[in-house]
Amino acid sequence: MTPGARAAAAIAVLDRYLAGEPVERALTNWGRASRFAGSGDRAAVRDLVFDALRCKRSYAALGGAMTGRGLILGGVRASGGDGGDLFTGEGHAPVKVGPDEIGRRPVGAEALDVPDWLLPELEASLGDATVPVLRAMQVRAPVFLRVNLRKTTVAQALARLAGEEIAATPHPLAKTALEVTGNARKIQTSESFRTGLVELQDASSQAVVEALPLRDGIRVLDHCAGGGGKTLAMAALARIKVWAHDANPRRMADLPERARRAGVAVTLTEAPETLAPFDLVLVDAPCSGSGSWRRDPEGKWALTEARLAEVVAVQAGIMTRAATMVGPGGTLAYATCSLLEKENEAQVNAFVTAHPGWTVQSKQRFLPTSGGDGFFVALLTRA
């Protein structure tokens, strides 16, 4: 496919998304109908689509319309181009840019690519870091790997990856974190990945796990395990007995095989209360996902004030449930991949106020300006 044809394909996918179709489904449907497109073409179209979703409001302003065409044209203009090389009207390329597609400079929340109602929430939560953080969220997230210290060392993993033509470098957010700098698309077919030497995991997510009070022999519950990334990371850092639970057990379907590949033992449970008490309960709570919107920009535009209020209420309920499973002297770890204070510090403060005897031992924020996703983690203990 020519660059113009790729742009036209991205426009078609974005129009389907703007009409209400989930973006992943729109990409899948386009791919099925476009057997001529090679793997490189599919990756390029996907990149164009997700770049446009990260910057949907600013690109629409620059491109003159909230349409697939407007978004792609806006992206070209944001990069300093005029669209003449892509919008040629030749072959499968989009038609030439018309005099009515002038566009304008985005302002305010539009320029930072967030909903109007959300910007005050972010400013209250991030203060002077608001603009740098939101600018960081407008670009693609780095690809990170977690070195499985149960099977290898960082130096050995780097050497193995280099031998498979995957370039990576250590990242300061976590001792196990590697930032991939070349050939990221080779990772999942690499021997290093298939044999469990490395796992795909954001650096801030790894830093959250490193902040936990892990030590050999303790009993640990990952209460909102999801796919189990933090479950595996905990099991690799200490010889613990670890259980994984999720409200939707299907999310953990791949976890047993991933644990086998990683060389660690993980037990799935649908009734964690029957196994209590635990020395450590990790609640990686469902949240707005605002810290990871570089990876899931569709989620940013789907969030509403009402949905945020629902999520905050769910978080409070999960914390209350999880606290009953913490044994004497144990730790409740509360984490989110959110940037918003009402999901983080305010949530923890409300829990402590409502549950006398609990004390906050530490709180940490990780912002996208440090390289990884936005994360928050607090450690609480009961007197």
Active site residue ranges: 337
Residue 79 has, within 13 A of its CA and on its CB side, a CA count of 13
CA–CA gap between residue 162 and residue 297 (Å, rounded): 31
Joined tokens for residue 158:
């780097």
Reference 49, options 12, 84, 77, 81; nearest CA is: 12
CA–CA gap between residue 344 and residue 124 (Å, rounded): 12
DSSP conformational letter for 90: S
Q: Is residue 359 exposed (0-12), middle (13-18) or buried (19+ Cβ within 10 Å)?
A: exposed
- What are the residues facing 154 on neighbouring strands? none
At residue 256, what is the residue type?
P
At residue 348, what is the residue type?
V
Helix (H) or strand (E) holding 161: helix 154-163
Lateral strand order in the sheet of 177-182: 167-170, 177-182, 143-147, 198-200
What sign does the CA torsion over 321, 324, 327, 329 have? positive
Report in angstroms the alpha-carbon separations of 223 from 135, 220, 239, 319. 33, 9, 19, 10
DSSP conformational letter for 169: E
Do you find a cis peptide bond into 277, omega within 30 degrees of 0? yes
Q: Are strands 219-222 and 278-284 parallel, antiparallel or unpaired?
A: parallel
